[in-house]
Structure 1
Amino acid sequence: MHSRNLHKDSAYDFEKLSDANPDLKAFTFKNEYQNTTIDFGNPKAVVALNKALLIAHYNVSNWELPEGYLCPPIPSRVDYIHHIADIVTEKQEIKGLDIGVGANTIYCILGSQVYNWKMIGCDINAESIKIAQKNIDFTPKLKKNVSLIHQSNNANIFEGVINVNDYFDFSVCNPPFHNSENEAKKGTLRKLNNLNKKDFELNFGGQANELWCNGGEALFLKRMIKQSTLFKNQVGYFTSLVSKKEHLPKLEKQLSKLKAKYRVIPMQHGNKITRILAWSYIKNF
């Protein structure tokens, strides 16, 4: 994890976290090693943990997430934000754009609360925007720093969100991973199986637009890169998570053809390895 990530090299303090969010306590138990933990295959337990982490460590007054929405792991998401901070260092006031903010609003929350960035979040799901707005409204600092936009045209990524006179220092994105609903369900089953969970729940968390799109991650990022050329002078650094490293060669080739500067930033969280692809038409790395 990033050197500034306060979750690196430390287990969750469930006693402290249960003080922050008393609802978490009902989900805690002692494992075979007599360590306090939760069932990470239980979406309600993970939501309770996230709420506790945001209250205890990120000065959020409250955070809610209805069933069926993607609940992201805080440690890995804040890692992404720390790596962005390493890139956008030349200005005092930073403005960022979250593509696919989701109901959880996590990148906007962390950008605001960790670095006091101004953040705009957009999403094609109008209901997600409504839930996200409630999460923003809970905390005065978030109300000041974060704005949300409904992207009404799901063919567009930046158009309709970035206006003529807008400038963003960076964009972030956690793209849809799968290329079909069936593939998303298989991924859920694998995830639950890895957690040794015998009673599989197909709804591990995530709306359709959060989990899959036609062509999956590779095609989504190809579209994002293509559409980024229309806003090359209005975003300092475009970035996205890339879950599958085999997608990188074609994406790098596409960026090279467009004469964009780019960098791949590796990230590791436990056994999971992922990376950030960052590119720019106007900035150096």
Structure 2
Amino acid sequence: MGGKRKRKNGGERRGTHPRNKYSDNPPDFGLLASLYPSFEPYVFYSRDGRPKIDWTDFNATRELTRVLLLHDHGLDWWIPDGQLCPTVPNRLNYIHWIEDLLASDIIPATSADDDVKKGFDIGTGANCIYPLLGASVLGWKFVGSDFTDVAIEWANRNVKSNPHISDLIEVRRVGTEDKLHNMEELQNAHKCSSEGSLDASSTKARDAGLLASPVPETHSDAKKSYNGPPILLGIVKGGENFDFCMCNPPFFESMEEAGLNPKTSCGGTPDEMVCSGGEHAFITRIIEDSTKLKHTFRWYTSMVGRKLNLNILVSELWKVGATVVKTTEFVQGRTSRWGLAWSFLPSSHRKISSHKNEDNNLSFMLEGLQRQHGAFHVLQSVQSYLANSGASCKLDTAAFTVDITASKDQVDALLKTEMHNKSEAVSYPDELNPSSSSNDQRQMDALRFRILVFQQIPGTLLVRGTLLDRTSSISGLFSLIFHHLEEVLINKFSTGRVSAVSNIRR
């Protein structure tokens, strides 16, 4: 964030939304230090003269967030020591992605006119960052919920400190009585569905749309079940309707797990960072609530911290009857998060075949690696796997990348080999079918992409794929090749777990 990072191939900074204020103009730490004396002590200069801050210093990251919100968004903001400190560019990416969902015609707007969009921020925290940014940047209305005294007090302070948008934001407390009511309601719903019968009142409630079909249990281990405060059910009031909900969930099952990255310090209390079952259990509860609230929200969304969980959650959403499921990736520096969105409203889009996937940047996590296996070994396997089909592979050990160029024939051979190993047949749409092109055209066109590998935490690598030539007529095959590569690497290097589901429906 301390300066504009240019890619070697001259492309744009990946992972930053094009409408993000910081997409082409990342924060200038030197300028901010000259304008805000309180920030100046945290800025130092590298040997090449670039201004930097110490990302392991909570006070530095908090002061950076404060001055960015003030300088770029006119927001007066503060949080007490130890509370989760958000990064502004990353949070803006999430907001602009939701803006894209609302602007698309995938799920038609429920209102006949251009009403102000209304969102629900699950676990808004003391920072209240999403309502503040959504209200100031886009004029959206928000309800932000939380259950701790500190979060409620400081979220309200941050709202009241910005009177120009305070009428757009409501901070709603989640109480213990709501927790008990919510837990009993969910348990009763599950009990009724498991017994295969409903009493008269439950039948009436289901007919009225207050109860949904049984939610399939994917994790029977009680330790993996969420048992914290209510999330949506019991907090959303009767008759309320929202365009979307959003959530930065507790990603971890313990504070020890949350503290594995020693290179950053964003604070965070156990209430903000940890819950029983981690992010999977928390988001699964959002899904369960959404099956009961159904059309109360046009879009349900959440951040996801692990690609493995993203794949599992997508599968669960299709099982419970979501009409649309969308995903995206948020990248800031070397940290990746994913966005997950779904709806139960009728979709206006026909099913799009997989080759229409417009993802030009894909990634997955390799977890559970043995000590003897590192990024270099994975790179070598990538090179070997793709070179076997005759593709040209240029390995850069310094940058931990492999640049690949594959002809249509080589892509065809690679995919057919993979499908043959699975006793399946490979089929292409006519416009991508190698046999439907002339020999000259097949030799001229090519798929060009890059694979990057680097370590996230010990035993875990992030593998990213970037399409380098979007104009190629076979660029739509990039996602197929990348997902095959994912399966190969997971089967070879990841130990002690089942491979993640790779093909996500769009």
Q: TM-score, normalised by structure 2?
A: 0.52
1:105 — aligned with what? 128
Tell me how far 1:183 sits from its aligned partner.
1.9
2:256 — aligned with what? 182
**SS of alignment partner, residue 249 of structure 2:** coil
Tell me how far 1:20 sits from its aligned partner.
5.4
- 2:296, 2:142 → 1: CA distance? 15
CA contact (8 A) 2:174 2:229 kept: no
CA contact (8 A) 1:267 1:274 kept: yes
Tell me how far 1:19 sits from its aligned partner.
5.5
CA contact (8 A) 1:101 1:107 kept: yes
1:150 to 164, 169, 173: 173
Tell me how far 1:266 sits from its aligned partner.
2.1
Post-superposition Cα deviations, 1:123-180, rounded to whole Å, max 9, x if no partner, equal 1212211011111111112311111011112431112321111001000001101112
1:67 — aligned with what? 81
**SS of alignment partner, residue 22 of structure 1:** coil
**SS of alignment partner, residue 96 of structure 1:** strand
The 5 A counterparts of 1:71-150 are 71-89=85-103, 90=109, 91-150=114-173
**SS of alignment partner, residue 240 of structure 1:** strand
- 1:126, 1:120 → 2: CA distance? 17
* Letter of the 1:276 counterpart: G
- 1:135, 1:19 → 2: CA distance? 25
Post-superposition Cα deviations, 1:186-243, rounded to whole Å, max 9, x if no partner, equal x2xxx22x36xxxxxxx75101111110110111111110111121121110000111
* Misfit runs of 4+, over 3 Å: 18-21
Tell me how far 1:66 sits from its aligned partner.
0.7
2:423 — aligned with what? none
- 1:184, 1:4 → 2: CA distance? 31
CA contact (8 A) 1:21 1:51 kept: no
2:267 — aligned with what? 205
Asked if residue 7 in structure 1 is aligned to residue 22 in structure 2, the reply is yes
The 5 A counterparts of 1:265-284 are 265-282=328-345, 284=347
Post-superposition Cα deviations, 1:17-47, rounded to whole Å, max 9, x if no partner, equal 2365431112111122211121111101111
- 1:46, 1:52 → 2: CA distance? 10
CA contact (8 A) 1:20 1:56 kept: no
1:242 to 297, 304, 328: 304
- 2:346, 2:44 → 1: CA distance? 49
Post-superposition Cα deviations, 1:220-277, rounded to whole Å, max 9, x if no partner, equal 1111101111211211100001110101232122111111021112222222222110
The 5 A counterparts of 1:20-35 are 21-35=36-50
**SS of alignment partner, residue 88 of structure 1:** helix
* Letter of the 1:222 counterpart: T
- 1:134, 1:70 → 2: CA distance? 16
**SS of alignment partner, residue 68 of structure 1:** coil
**SS of alignment partner, residue 210 of structure 1:** helix
> Higher mean Cα deviation, 150-159 or 102-111?
150-159
- 2:151, 2:335 → 1: CA distance? 27
2:62 — aligned with what? 47
CA contact (8 A) 1:20 1:52 kept: no
1:223 — aligned with what? 285
**SS of alignment partner, residue 140 of structure 1:** coil
- 2:333, 2:152 → 1: CA distance? 31
**SS of alignment partner, residue 178 of structure 1:** coil
- Work out which structure has the larger RCO, using CA pairs closer than 8 Å and 6 or more positions apart in sequence: 1
Q: Do the aligned partners of residues 204 and 265 (structure 1) sit closer, same or farther apart at CA in structure 2, a change above 3 Å counting? A: closer
Q: Do the aligned partners of residues 149 and 219 (structure 1) sit closer, same or farther apart at CA in structure 2, a change above 3 Å counting? A: same
- Matched pairs, number: 272
**SS of alignment partner, residue 249 of structure 1:** helix
> Higher mean Cα deviation, 127-136 or 264-273?
264-273
Q: Which runs of 5+ in 1 are unaligned?
A: 196-202
* Letter of the 1:108 counterpart: P
Q: Which structure's CA Rg is the greater one?
A: 2
Q: TM-score, normalised by structure 1?
A: 0.90
Tell me how far 1:111 sits from its aligned partner.
0.4
CA contact (8 A) 2:123 2:247 kept: yes
- 1:46, 1:21 → 2: CA distance? 14
